Amino acid sequence: MSLRRPPKEPPAAALHVGPAADHAAGLPAILSSLRHGLREMGLRRTVQTLRMVNQDQGFDCMGCAWPDPARRHHAEFCENGAKAVAEEATLLRAGPELFAQWSVAELAEQSDFWLGKRGRLTEPLYLAPGATHYAPVSWDDAFGVISGALHGLASPDEAAFYTSGRTSNEAAFVYQAFVRALGTNNLPDCSNMCHESSGVALEQSIGIGKGSVSLEDIEMADLILVAGQNPGTNHPRMLSALEAAKDRGAKVIAINPLREAGLSRFDNPQKVRGMLGRGVEIADLHVPVRVGGDLALFAAVNARLLAADALDHDFVREHCDGLDAVRAAAAALDPDAVRAATGLDDHVVDELTALVMASERTVICWAMGLTQHRHSVATIREVVNLLLLRGMIGRPGAGLCPVRGHSNVQGDRTMGIFEKPRPEFLDRLEPVLGYPLPREHGLDVVGTIEALRDGRVKVFLGMGGNFLSAAPDTAVTAAALGRAELTVHVATKLNRSHVTPGRAALLLPTLGRTERDVQAGGEQRVTVEDSMSAVHASRGRLEPASRHLRSEVAIVCALAERTLGARTGNVEWAALAEDYDRIRELVAAGIDGFEDFNARIEHGFVLPHPPRDSRSFATPNGRAQLIPNPLEVLDVPPGHLLLQTLRSHDQYNTTIYGLNDRYRGIKAGRRVVLVHPEDLRELGLPPGTTVDLLGRPDRDGTVRRADRFRAVAYDTPRGCAAAYYPETNALVPLHSVALESGTPTSKSVVIRLARSG
Ligand SMILES: Nc1nc2c(c(=O)[nH]1)N[C@H]1C(S)=C(S)[C@@H](COP(=O)(O)OP(=O)(O)OC[C@H]3O[C@@H](n4cnc5c(=O)[nH]c(N)nc54)[C@H](O)[C@@H]3O)O[C@H]1N2
Ligand SMILES: Nc1nc2c(c(=O)[nH]1)N[C@H]1C(S)=C(S)[C@@H](COP(=O)(O)OP(=O)(O)OC[C@H]3O[C@@H](n4cnc5c(=O)[nH]c(N)nc54)[C@H](O)[C@@H]3O)O[C@H]1N2
Ligand SMILES: [Mo]
């Protein structure tokens, strides 16, 4: 294949819109993942790799953070995981020839899809100040460049260290230890854009920022609410758990502006009836809430529970504060405001409430549809209020289930990847590391972009991820990164952040989770924590994509040694990289819940969760908090729509696998905007019209825009629209963040449509 001529993406005219599917998985899912695997890896490697996903001696799937069932199917099969694995285990290589031929400016003109399809990075690369092309550099020189830049800063707070959620516990632990040894808490991470709102709300309400259920709880529940989540695409293995619950008689309610395929019917590819395409109906009730209407919806359900006195009085008396305040807020709730915010008829809310009242074991699952709005923290507190009023925390078959995205995003937080570490966390860790840890809060993702833009941060290091494309306000973020003196990315594959460099840039290739990690002390394992706080080992088996690759742990330790010297406090950096057991010893001594870490990874273990384990709450007064939340109705001016930016079936965050969204009937293109047919009619835009998406002007008159989208008539509530991330990130204003959590409001962007010129 000639590197000069990229395979052209299909022209806009190829885009095809068919009917949306009413079910997920089944045979098409298997065929799709096999096709993807074969194209990237060939037959032998496909079979070899897929056999090791989530098996006892294999690697942890990077597809999502949904836990593994104790009894595994022969292949714990999921299209999502198979594609994520193929993406990493691909035989394609982005070697130095590619970077010799293509300038950074030329690479930047290519699509995300094209960049990712170049294959695995093979050697460290350096873009010197003023250079046009990345060129190979030795690891040693690369570390020299970074340590030189860090030493040149007036303060360690002029550097920021991003983490994406694939980083293992071991790498995350040494990374935060290094960053804090430098003297800063500038540790932004993908969580800031993801489940931060969940963490903030849960900390306030129940004293711990994690979910309170196990997989068994899901299977034992009699009622499961799935709010703001599209498991058929993003957590396909969750459908098996929902199916198991349904087999035992549970009811499932989907709360979602869209009627997502996996929730309406699921053909379990592990079962014959699923293979033949006669799956089970998953959702018993679909609640088509307006975008951003969940706060009002949950408040309205809670008001009905209070009015009917359908409370677990013993639980509330023994464990909760705030009943009177919540009662007063419920009494003051304005039914018209609820109707305006939710777009729902009262009888739908009544039906939902009746199901909640009839349930003895309720689980609520949620994801980005709840966390990426201005009032997300309040929304999630209202979700918690519901379960507290009903006594559904710390009861088998019941509880809170924020479904995480990246496979170790929860573990990274546990290891201390957090710009606002709790003092108790630092107090416990400090004597173990043996050097002082900074206390002042650091920058989150949005804070980092602002600081780069204003010249307050000069060195940016990304441990994985694709900071530019994942972040809001693409043009602003690109310009901000461009002002940095040095940008460094530790990565497996090429992406847009790498071709939007600072004045100088380094690209450091690393091992993926599928690959063998051999250090001086022998072959290494790493560990990860899933969405339900279970920690287990992961061991790669494939030969690394190139002999130059280093593990994330090895990269951090070598950089720390180069920058700080061989030893900092009690930490000997090189020794940690030789044998990861030594890292786990530090974790065992310094972080709660990891006693005997090395001994226990063999079989895995579940971290303590006081509300789940003993109905105890580590809030300031030891009680769970019922918190009243004033209603917010988003203001959408006439002629405007409320846009949510979501994932297609053929992408993993900013990595685009393909251009189809099978379940939603979209083929061969991603620049589509889904709008209610009546709204299109009122706007005078027949389906199929090419439109530009325009944001509301800023005070200085700036209008954010994303051009040339196909308008598609779709079953979504009136006044709402949907389009894919990351193409639409340019529309999300940097300053538009969730109250208290700072999460960009990627699920509620006010836009208008204009016919493209
Ligand atoms: N294949 C695949 N798997 C993934 C990922 C991926 O990109 N691809 N990403 C991973 C990551 S990091 C994450 S965080 C998760 C994300 O998993 P999801 O949260 O399922 O991802 P989104 O596509 O953002 O979908 C949000 C869902 O919320 C709904 N929604 C939008 N706005 C609202 C609202 O206001 N209220 C309600 N009730 N619903 C709303 C949308 O219609 C959509 O169904 O998936 C993880 N798994
Ligand atoms: N508009 C809008 N924006 C969003 C969202 C949204 O719903 N709408 N969702 C947000 C969410 S939930 C999230 S989590 C973020 C995601 O933000 P990120 O986590 O930053 O983005 P990813 O696309 O997951 O990162 C992919 C890159 O990670 C690198 N990579 C893959 N595997 C490894 C590995 O093992 N090690 C290393 N070092 N690198 C690796 C590859 O180079 C790949 O290109 O985006 C957020 N942005
Ligand atoms: Mo995420």
CA 648 to ligand 2 centroid distance, Å: 14
- The last residue of a domain, from among 360, 387, 403: 403
Smallest CA separation from ligand 1 atom 10, residue: 405
Q: Could you tell me if 513 and 408 are in contact, meaning their C-beta atoms sit under 8 angstroms apart?
A: no
The pLDDT, as a whole number, for residue 25 is 64
d(CA 690, CA 707): 9
More confident of the two residues 668 and 288: 288
d(CA 342, CA 561): 55
In sequence order, what are the residues at sequence separation of 6 or more whose Cβ sits closer than 8 angstroms to the Cβ of residue 367?
195, 228, 229, 230, 234, 235, 402, 403, 405
Q: Could you tell me if 430 and 436 are in contact, meaning their C-beta atoms sit under 8 angstroms apart?
A: yes
Q: Could you tell me if 195 and 209 are in contact, meaning their C-beta atoms sit under 8 angstroms apart?
A: no
The pLDDT, as a whole number, for residue 40 is 78
The pLDDT, as a whole number, for residue 89 is 87
Same domain, 676 and 733: yes
Inside any domain, residue 617: no
3-class DSSP state of 708: strand
The pLDDT, as a whole number, for residue 12 is 67
The string of pLDDT tens digits covering residues 192-226 is 999 999 999 999 999 999 999 999 999 999 999 99
The pLDDT, as a whole number, for residue 28 is 65
Mind spelling out the 3-state secondary structure of 668-683?
Answer: CCCCEEEECHHHHHHH
What is the position in ligand 1's atom list of the atom closest to the CA of 79? 1
Inside any domain, residue 289: yes
Burial label, 327 (beta-carbon count in 10 A; 0-12, 13-18, 19+): middle
For the chain, what is the domain count?
4
The string of pLDDT tens digits covering residues 343-362 is 999 999 999 999 999 999 99
Same domain, 262 and 379: yes
Mutate to test the pocket of ligand 1, among 62, 79, 87, 233 (most ligand atoms within 8 A of CB): 233
The pLDDT, as a whole number, for residue 125 is 98
Inside any domain, residue 626: no
pLDDT mean across residues, the chain: 92
Same domain, 445 and 380: no
Burial label, 8 (beta-carbon count in 10 A; 0-12, 13-18, 19+): exposed
Sheet holding 265-267, edge to edge: 24-25, 265-267, 280-281
User: Who lines ligand 2 at CB under 6 A?
Assistant: 164-166, 190, 193-194, 368, 405-406, 463-467, 470, 490-493, 495, 510, 512-513, 552, 645, 653-655, 725, 729, 732, 746
Same domain, 233 and 378: yes
3-class DSSP state of 76: coil
The pLDDT, as a whole number, for residue 6 is 39
Whole-model pTM? 0.94
Burial label, 324 (beta-carbon count in 10 A; 0-12, 13-18, 19+): exposed
Same domain, 207 and 276: yes
The pLDDT, as a whole number, for residue 41 is 75
Same domain, 364 and 377: yes
Same domain, 504 and 647: no
Smallest CA separation from ligand 1 atom 19, residue: 368
What is the position in ligand 2's atom list of the atom closest to the CA of 653? 23
Inside any domain, residue 8: no
- What is the CATH classification number for the domain harbouring 246? 3.40.228.10
- At 76, the pLDDT band (50, 70, 90 cuts) reads low
User: Residue 3: is its pLDDT beyond 70?
Assistant: no
- At 685, the pLDDT band (50, 70, 90 cuts) reads very high
Inside any domain, residue 633: no
DSSP 157: G
Token couple for 623: 């009680």
Burial label, 596 (beta-carbon count in 10 A; 0-12, 13-18, 19+): exposed
The string of pLDDT tens digits covering residues 290-324 is 999 999 999 999 999 999 999 999 999 999 999 99
CA 166 to ligand 2 centroid distance, Å: 9
* Alpha helices (H) along 266-408: 272-275, 294-307, 313-319, 323-332, 335-342, 346-358, 368-371, 376-389
Token couple for 646: 């979501």
Segment 590-601 mean pLDDT: 97
| Residue-number span of the structural domain to which 33 is assigned | 23-88
- The last residue of a domain, from among 340, 371, 403: 403
- Residues whose Cβ atom is located within 5 A of ion ligand 3: 194, 405
Mutate to test the pocket of ligand 1, among 32, 646, 748 (most ligand atoms within 8 A of CB): 646
Segment 250-271 mean pLDDT: 79
- What is the CATH classification number for the domain harbouring 560? 3.40.50.740
More confident of the two residues 283 and 160: 160
The string of pLDDT tens digits covering residues 694-712 is 999 999 999 999 999 999 9
Q: Is the peptide bond before 726 cis (omega within 30 degrees of 0)?
A: yes
Q: Could you tell me if 626 and 613 are in contact, meaning their C-beta atoms sit under 8 angstroms apart?
A: no
User: Residue 436: is its pLDDT beyond 60?
Assistant: yes
Inside any domain, residue 245: yes
Inside any domain, residue 680: yes
In sequence order, what are the residues at sequence separation of 6 or more whose Cβ sits closer than 8 angstroms to the Cβ of residue 622?
616
The pLDDT, as a whole number, for residue 236 is 87
Mutate to test the pocket of ligand 1, among 226, 344, 644 (most ligand atoms within 8 A of CB): 644
Q: What Rg, from alpha-carbon coordinates, does the chain have?
A: 25
Looking at the DSSP bridge assignments, the partners of residue 363 are 224, 399
Mutate to test the pocket of ligand 2, among 61, 164, 291, 647 (most ligand atoms within 8 A of CB): 164
CA 509 to ligand 3 centroid distance, Å: 23
- The helix (run of H) or strand (run of E) holding residue 171 is helix 169-182
The string of pLDDT tens digits covering residues 220-244 is 999 999 999 999 899 988 988 998 9
The pLDDT, as a whole number, for residue 602 is 84
The pLDDT, as a whole number, for residue 263 is 72
Same domain, 300 and 210: yes
The pLDDT, as a whole number, for residue 2 is 36
Inside any domain, residue 585: no
Q: Which residues of 152-188 are buried (b: 16+ CB within 10 A; e: fewer)?
A: ebeebbbbbbbbbbbbbbbbbbbbbbbbbbbbbbbbb
- State the ligand closest to the CA atom of 193: 2
Token couple for 190: 């993908």
The closest alpha carbon to 217, from 363, 351, 324, 352, belongs to 363
Least confident of 3-12, 441-450, 570-579, 681-690: 3-12
User: Who lines ligand 1 at CB under 6 A?
Assistant: 64, 80, 194, 227-230, 233-235, 255-258, 260, 289, 291-292, 294, 367-369, 405-406, 644, 646-647, 651-653, 747
Same domain, 38 and 76: yes
- At 456, the pLDDT band (50, 70, 90 cuts) reads very high
Same domain, 650 and 746: yes
User: Residue 608: is its pLDDT beyond 70?
Assistant: yes
Smallest CA separation from ligand 2 atom 11, residue: 194
Same domain, 247 and 117: no
d(CA 467, CA 445): 9
d(CA 507, CA 42): 27
The string of pLDDT tens digits covering residues 36-75 is 777 777 777 777 776 666 666 677 877 778 887 764 544 4
- At 268, the pLDDT band (50, 70, 90 cuts) reads low
What is the position in ligand 2's atom list of the atom closest to the CA of 655? 23
Token couple for 450: 């602002």
Same domain, 462 and 546: yes
- What is the CATH classification number for the domain harbouring 655? 2.40.40.20
Segment 728-743 mean pLDDT: 98
- The last residue of a domain, from among 68, 88, 108: 88
d(CA 497, CA 474): 11
Q: Give the rounded percent of residues in the chain with a pLDDT score beyond 70.
A: 92
